[in-house]
Amino acid sequence: MIPLYYYLMVSAVLFSVGLAGALTRRNAILVLIGVELMLNAANLNFIAFWRYSPNPEAITGMMFVIFSIAIAAAEAAVGLALIIAIYRHCKTTNLERMDSLKG
Amino acid sequence: MMGDFFKGLLVMIWRVMTDQPDPKAEFLSVFPGGLQPLVSAVLSVSPIILVFATLFALTTWLERKGLGRIQNRLGPNRVGPYGLFQPIADGLKMLTKEDIVPRSADKVVHFLAPIAFLVPTLLAYAVLPYGRNLVPVNFDAGILFFFAVGASTELSIFMAGWSSRNKYSLLGAMRAIAQMISYEIPLILSSVTVIMIAGSLSLVEIVEQQGGYQFGWLPGWFVFTPWGLAGFVIFLIASLAESNRSPFDIPEAESELIAGHLTEYSGFKYALFFLAEYLGMFAVSGLAATLFLGGWRAPSPFLEWVPSYVWFLSKLVSLVCLFIWIRGTVPRLRVDQLLNFAWKFMLPMSLLNLLAAAAWHFTATWNFIGAGPGRWLLCAAMIAVPYVLLGRALTGGKKWTRRTYRFAE
Amino acid sequence: MNWIVQYLWLIPVLPLAAAGALAVTTRPHRRFGAGLTILAMSASFLLSCVAFASTLGKTTATGPLHEALNFPWLQIGESTLRLGWVLDPLSAVMLVMVTFVSLLIFIYSAGYMAQDENFTRFFCFLSFFAAAMLGLVIANNLLLFFVCWELVGLASYLLIGFWYQKPSAAAAAKKAFITTRIGDVVFFLGILWLYSQGGTLLFYDRGAGCLEETVISDLVGRTTIGGMAVTTGIGLLIFCGAMGKSGQVPLHVWLPDAMEGPTPVSALIHAATMVAAGVFLIARVFPLLDPSVIEVTGSAAALTVVTWVGVITAVFAACIAVAQTDIKRILAYSTVSQLGFMMMGLGVGGVAVGMFHLITHAFFKALLFLGAGSVIHGCHEEQDIRNMGGLKKFMPVTFATYAAAMMALSGVPVFFSGFWSKDEILHAAHGWSISRWPFYLGVFGALLTAFYMTRQICLVFFGSNRGKANSAESHEHADPAHSPHESPAVMTVPLVILAAFAVLLGFIGTPAWPWFQKYLSGREPEFDTDALFHSEVLSTLLLSSVIVAVGIGLGWWLYGRKPMRKAGEADVLEQMRPDIFGLLKNKFYVDELYETTVIRLNAWFAQFCAALDHWVWNGAVLLAGYLVLGLAWVNRFFDEYVVNAGFDEGCREIRRGGKLLSRLQNGRVQSYLRVIGVALAALVLFLMWGCRAS
Amino acid sequence: MQIAFAILVALTLASAIAAVSLRNLVHCALCLALAFAGLAALYLQLGAQFVGFAQILVYVGAVAILVVFAILLTRGGESAPQPVISRSWVAGIAVAVLVFGVLTKAMLSSSLAHREPPPKPGPAVREIGNQLMTRYVLPLEAVGLLLTAATIGASIIAMQDAGRKQPDPQSVASKPANARLRRDAEEFETPTG
């Protein structure tokens, strides 16, 4: 049977991959993708902990994932809409050129 | 060894024929333990593929014949009796055609698209209960599974449209996705009513719930309740749109954008798409039958002896015929009409239907005189009144003038 | 306490509400406007009738019962100012009269103003006026009285100037307003004096009111300049207000000009109600003028003044009326003279006499004005009686009612109300202790009244038509559009009703059955016919009948016998004595007199003030201005070269610091994210070590 | 079991890495969808059926589509000419590695990392339903509100502001898909690629 920390490792890798993507890509959408990946890594953690918890009848972990999925969906929708709006405003999705808020 | 193999096979077939529980057990016992899951999977999958592939072939023939009749033509009548072998001929043609890929196309995605389209469609069949004990996998979230895989076909359509680098394909794909997203919501909402009443996500359970007869003769199918009827209609319309069939076939409108996302496909890949679309249609009508028409249940007590899968298949086929009929009758919509219809009419109606179902659920405990007719009237009113009002509001009180025909000189 | 007294306030408030509603209605809603006002008016008419009925037969030992309802309105330090309303025979009679006449006139105006574009505005003003008048009638507090009084003045200003496009109308409105204002100022002085002396302005306050024994007997004790009793002084001041409002000489000048307003307005304000307000005021504060009515011995000197002013006004105005040619002006001057009669009646005979004439006069004068209005209407806005004549056959109803009113005014014996009321006055004057002259002058005035009314009616209704339509007698009915015509029913019906009252109303005050007088003084009337044949009563009756006969006969002999042929022709009297006639025609040159004296003085003073302003004050202001400018300049210099420099330096420093710090914020999302990542790592590490430690 | 797990993990991680590293954005989006599918499969393997299907339904069915649409609307469809890696990528990678290291250290040092799973719990879907309706009903309401707000907000943000481009009111209907579709029609008149 698979021990828990396999899943934890997987989610850690997934998380850092997402983080790396969010940190290194120029395109805003790619950054969003990275964020989504990080979220899913967290979800995987929850599910894994639920499954491996001493009493899986308490389905708190799953609940948490369900809610986080819903919220992630909302977040994706709004985020993408924002990106589209930004694109329409300054004709780029390149994060390095969206620095009009610099001091 | 060989003996009990065939014996087991025969027993299994007999049991399947006569709706007996757990038909596979005896036959599986022949095999060594390691193989058993694999064999059982094969045993569940292969009949589905065979049956529905045949059904697909027959349906193409039936559709062309039916449309021909509707359009006052003969339809295919050359190959075989009544052109019955036409599908075979078509299939041969398709398979032997050259497979063209545009130079600028994104090869990988272009290649993956039909597969990504076909696989989920086939997966959807896994949860349908075909007969009394005939269900491949009995997930207790079966209907959710169905919709999940159904939803994942949209991406494949996008892949097809985007990868072939053709404006018509892209437009078609975009239209298809917009349409599918828009109509998925009424589809799911109208089936949520059933889930609410049945109290389960498992299709088997749902069919179980539809047993028995009300008033002694009317089957307990959900379609025979106010909310059920409304839900059934909404479901049918939405599933028409989901499976890109006329009058909602604008994604592949031949006359506007030549077959939409299928423009750049030919030969085998095109055949796959074609197959997948029809399979999708079967699956969704199968789901409709399961949710509203009582699945494999017989319409009346004295027809119980007929095997259950016959009922299921007959319901499915009649739904398919209905689809064909609609396709032959109703003209195609415009994009904005389509979406307005989805968001301004279908969505509110399905929500109201949900309310009606809730009312039905809570009035189930009524036990005064005339409670039965009372809740019938209540729910019916809860659906009918908003329907009339909404219709009024949407048509903006405009009168339908007589249609005028314009001919080319 | 009588229940109707609780709801007395409704009577003025209903028309006020109607006015308010109309003020926000747009022009097109004519029917609504008229309907609303008439509805409100009739409602308050009914209420008034109820109130009137409730006062019948309520008497006390001393006199009529005054049912007052007072409430605190304003708290100034120690003293609270209390307002309230009172219901007693006086106000009840006035209420009924005012509401009834107003109602009829409203209905009439609905027909008269039918063509006017500002229909709704007109009704709004009318209703507003009625509200103010009714408030004045029921007021139980001199202040409230004064407020309503001023509102009435405002309403009359608005209504006189209703056709403000006509410069003459605007001027007339201004004149009326200012002239009455002169009186009002004095009136207000009187109020203040009364408050300072008596300490209350409530009329009736369970014995503590300013018209009741305690206060009055306290006031009559004190004397002021020239040994005059305080009450007398106050009474005179208040009487000045009455003079202004009800056009006594010398403040009568505004009343004739007020005829510029629409005829219903003239009828309502300048005949029936508002001008009567002055008389009503005197009747209301009568105890101040003559303490004896409430068994307080004190000087009634003020009454003498009232009497003399009344007499002079009566004769003076009657004389002028003889020579006027504008139909409404004649009526206006006759109003003035009748008001004089009322004042005289008050002076010589007390409240009952004056009020009786007021009531009867209200009806027939309103009727006269409405008739005149109907005549003007029928003759297409023609007002000069020289261009009329022979209207008898064109407008029979108008003629009949008009004739009735005329006879009532000139006091044709027995059957007409004017006869009885005027006879009352003459009789009282005859019995006046101080002097006989009022009697003689009154007789002369009555004679003139009969005369000029006859003259007017002859010129208007008899003879042949001298209107523009057929100034050339060639074709009588050439164009019916311009030939006179009878007015619509909505106008004639009120005429008929008023006529009925003008005739019958006299019988409630005959010497044989003096119901009215008794009612006012709160006693039971008793019926005795031989009071009629008491010697000097009979003699005055006969005398006044003779006078009337003479007056009418003279008028007929001069004007009726050989009617005026055509418009341009000179008046008969003018042919005899041009000088006198001219004098009368020009109203004794009173206006001109004021023009040369008062107004000239005023203008001169104004110019003087202007000069003062321009040279003295202006200079001072300029000086101050330059001073301030100089200061400002110094200030600016300091700012620019001391303060600004310092601040600029400071700001520059701060900005430099900010630049340095803002490097941190480079606006790149990802760099922030990096920081977050590092922070996350740091946090986890910290937690781990934290756990290890614990 | 192990094999399936290995395959799934390999698939998921590979497609995740591809999703953040490929040049062509659409490929990235597709790989993202694949990664989501793999995760869903992992959930199923962990016995969380409902969550798995929900994951597919939401992420593959909706979020991936949204991403794709966003990509096309921002003309990211064609491969970018300029370098797709930001200038400070070294620092980024460094931070990511740091975080990864810390996480692994935390995990391995924790006691319950090597816990074995208890026997499989019973079918949880009905249980989830009950819990959602009873214990978690308030969060459920909140999430419903959030989703509504997000829908409206997203459609308003992404809507072409009506004054400028689309005078007719009904195309600015209560749905981004509508406006979206029209915008595609505008933006992709010219064949891309």
CA–CA separation, C111 vs C115, rounded Å? 9
- As averages over each run of 10 residues, the pLDDT of chain B (409 residues) reads 81 82 79 82 87 90 88 84 87 86 86 90 89 84 90 88 85 85 90 89 88 80 88 92 82 69 84 89 92 86 85 92 89 83 89 90 79 82 87 75 69
Q: Do C684 and D103 touch (CB under 8 A)?
A: yes
Residue C670: name the closest of B98, B20, A24, B405 by CA.
Answer: A24
pLDDT at res. B225: 87
Q: Do D114 and A3 touch (CB under 8 A)?
A: yes
Of C661, C666, C677, which has the smallest distance from its Cβ to A23's Cβ? Answer: C677
Of A22, A96, A101, which has the smallest distance from its Cβ to C673's Cβ? Answer: A22
In this prediction the ipTM stands at 0.72
Pairing state between β C228-229 and C223-224:
antiparallel
pLDDT at res. C128: 93
If one counts every other C-beta atom within 10 angstroms of the C-beta of residue A19, the result is: 29
Note whether D177 contacts B: Cβ–Cβ < 8 A: yes
Note whether D178 contacts B: Cβ–Cβ < 8 A: yes
The neighbours of chain C, by the rule of 3 or more Cβ pairs under 8 Å, are A, D
Note whether C665 contacts A: Cβ–Cβ < 8 A: yes
Please compute the mean of the pLDDT values over residues C128-146 and round it to a whole number: 91
Chain B: closest CA distance from residue D174 (Å): 8
Question: Taking a C-beta distance cutoff of 8 angstroms, is the pair A23, D92 a contact?
Answer: yes
pLDDT digits (tens, 9 = 90+) for C35-88: 999 999 999 999 999 888 888 877 776 677 888 888 888 887 777 888 888 888
Phi, psi values for residue B292, rounded to 5°: -110, -35
State CA D192 to chain mean position distance: 26
pLDDT digits (tens, 9 = 90+) for C487-505: 888 888 888 888 888 888 8
Q: Do A100 and C666 touch (CB under 8 A)?
A: no
Residue of C nearest to A27 (CA): C670
Please compute the mean of the pLDDT values over residues C149-174 and round it to a whole number: 90
CA–CA separation, C447 vs C544, rounded Å? 9
pLDDT at res. C477: 46
Of D84, D114, D121, which has the smallest distance from its Cβ to A56's Cβ? Answer: D121
> Which residues does chain D have within 8 Å of residue C685's beta carbon, measured at their own beta carbons?
102
Of C674, C681, C687, which has the smallest distance from its Cβ to D91's Cβ? Answer: C674
> Which residues does chain D have within 8 Å of residue C687's beta carbon, measured at their own beta carbons?
106
Chain D: closest CA distance from residue B143 (Å): 10
pLDDT-based confidence at D186, cuts 50/70/90?
very low
Domain ranges of chain B: 2-45, 97-394
CA–CA separation, C5 vs C54, rounded Å? 9
CA–CA separation, C452 vs C331, rounded Å? 10
Q: Do C661 and A103 touch (CB under 8 A)?
A: yes
> Which residues does chain A have within 8 Å of residue C677's beta carbon, measured at their own beta carbons?
19, 23
Note whether D173 contacts C: Cβ–Cβ < 8 A: no
Domains of chain D: 1-74 (1.20.120.1200)
Q: Do D96 and A1 touch (CB under 8 A)?
A: no
Question: Taking a C-beta distance cutoff of 8 angstroms, is the pair C251, C183 a contact?
Answer: yes
State CA B262 to chain mean position distance: 21
3-state secondary structure of B370: coil
pLDDT digits (tens, 9 = 90+) for C638-657: 888 888 888 888 899 999 98
D and C touch with 3+ CB pairs <8 Å, answer yes
pLDDT at res. C555: 85
pLDDT digits (tens, 9 = 90+) for C282-320: 988 888 888 887 777 777 788 888 899 999 999 888 888
Question: Taking a C-beta distance cutoff of 8 angstroms, is the pair B172, B254 a contact?
Answer: no
0.90 surpassed by pTM: no
> Which residues does chain A have within 8 Å of residue D82's beta carbon, measured at their own beta carbons?
26, 94
Whether D56 has a pLDDT exceeding 70, the answer reads yes
Of D86, D101, D105, which has the smallest distance from its Cβ to C670's Cβ? Answer: D86
- Cis ω for the linkage preceding B247 (within 30 of 0): yes
Tokens of D139: 């969060």
Of C674, C685, C687, which has the smallest distance from its Cβ to D92's Cβ? Answer: C674
C and A touch with 3+ CB pairs <8 Å, answer yes
Q: Do D76 and A27 touch (CB under 8 A)?
A: yes
Q: Do D88 and C678 touch (CB under 8 A)?
A: no
Chain A: closest CA distance from residue D115 (Å): 6
Whether C227 has a pLDDT exceeding 80, the answer reads no
Question: Taking a C-beta distance cutoff of 8 angstroms, is the pair D125, B201 a contact?
Answer: yes
Question: Taking a C-beta distance cutoff of 8 angstroms, is the pair B362, B374 a contact?
Answer: no
pLDDT at res. D181: 44
pLDDT at res. C53: 87
pLDDT at res. D35: 93
CA–CA separation, B122 vs B49, rounded Å? 8
Question: Taking a C-beta distance cutoff of 8 angstroms, is the pair C329, C269 a contact?
Answer: no
Percent of chain A whose pLDDT exceeds 70? 97
> Which residues does chain C have within 8 Å of residue D87's beta carbon, measured at their own beta carbons?
none
pLDDT at res. B256: 67
Q: Name, in order, each residue with C-beta under 8 angstroms of B224's C-beta and a sequence gap of 6 or more.
A: B214, B218
Most confident of C15-24, C406-415, C594-603: C15-24
Best of A31, A62, A93 to mutate (most D CBs within 10 Å, chain D)? A62
Note whether D173 contacts B: Cβ–Cβ < 8 A: yes
Whether C474 has a pLDDT exceeding 80, the answer reads no
pLDDT at res. D178: 45
Interfacial C residues in 642-661 facing A (CB < 8 Å): 658-659, 661
The helix, strand and coil proportions of chain A, stated in percent and rounded to the nearest 5, come to: 80, 5, 20
Most confident of C144-153, C342-351, C538-547, D44-53: C144-153
Give the ranges where B267-370 is alpha helix by DSSP (H): 267-292, 308-329, 335-340, 347-362
Chain D: closest CA distance from residue C660 (Å): 22
CA–CA separation, C232 vs C212, rounded Å? 16
The count of C-alpha atoms lying within 13 angstroms of the C-alpha of C16, restricted to the half-sphere facing its C-beta, is: 14
Q: How many beta-carbon contacts under 8 Å exist across C and D?
A: 29
DSSP lists the bridge partners of residue C72 as C82
Whether C255 has a pLDDT exceeding 60, the answer reads yes
D and B touch with 3+ CB pairs <8 Å, answer yes
Interfacial D residues in 58-117 facing A (CB < 8 Å): 58-59, 62-63, 66-67, 69-71, 73-76, 80, 82-87, 89, 91-93, 95-97, 99-100, 103-104, 107-108, 112-117
Domains of chain A: 4-97 (1.10.287.3510)
pLDDT digits (tens, 9 = 90+) for D12-26: 999 999 998 888 888
Please compute the mean of the pLDDT values over residues C405-420 and round it to a whole number: 83
pLDDT at res. D177: 46
CA–CA separation, A36 vs A16, rounded Å? 12
pLDDT digits (tens, 9 = 90+) for C57-66: 777 766 778 8
pLDDT digits (tens, 9 = 90+) for C576-622: 777 777 777 777 787 788 878 888 888 898 999 999 888 888 989 99
Q: Do C674 and D88 touch (CB under 8 A)?
A: yes
The counts of H helices and E strands in chain D are 8, 0
Phi, psi values for residue B142, rounded to 5°: -60, -45
Of D88, D99, D109, which has the smallest distance from its Cβ to C688's Cβ? Answer: D109
Note whether A42 contacts C: Cβ–Cβ < 8 A: no
Chain C: closest CA distance from residue A9 (Å): 16
The neighbours of chain D, by the rule of 3 or more Cβ pairs under 8 Å, are A, B, C
CA–CA separation, C681 vs C651, rounded Å? 40
Whether D168 has a pLDDT exceeding 60, the answer reads no
The one-letter amino acid code at C494 reads P
C-alpha pair distances (Å), C268 with each of B93, C109, C125, C136, C261: 107, 10, 12, 15, 11
Chain C: closest CA distance from residue A82 (Å): 14
Q: What angle do CA C494, C495, C500 make, to 5 degrees?
A: 95
Interfacial B residues in 152-171 facing D (CB < 8 Å): 152, 154-155, 158-159, 162, 165-167, 170-171
The neighbours of chain A, by the rule of 3 or more Cβ pairs under 8 Å, are C, D
Of A22, A23, A102, which has the smallest distance from its Cβ to C665's Cβ? Answer: A102
> Which residues does chain D have within 8 Å of residue B141's beta carbon, measured at their own beta carbons?
49-50, 53, 125
pLDDT at res. B210: 87
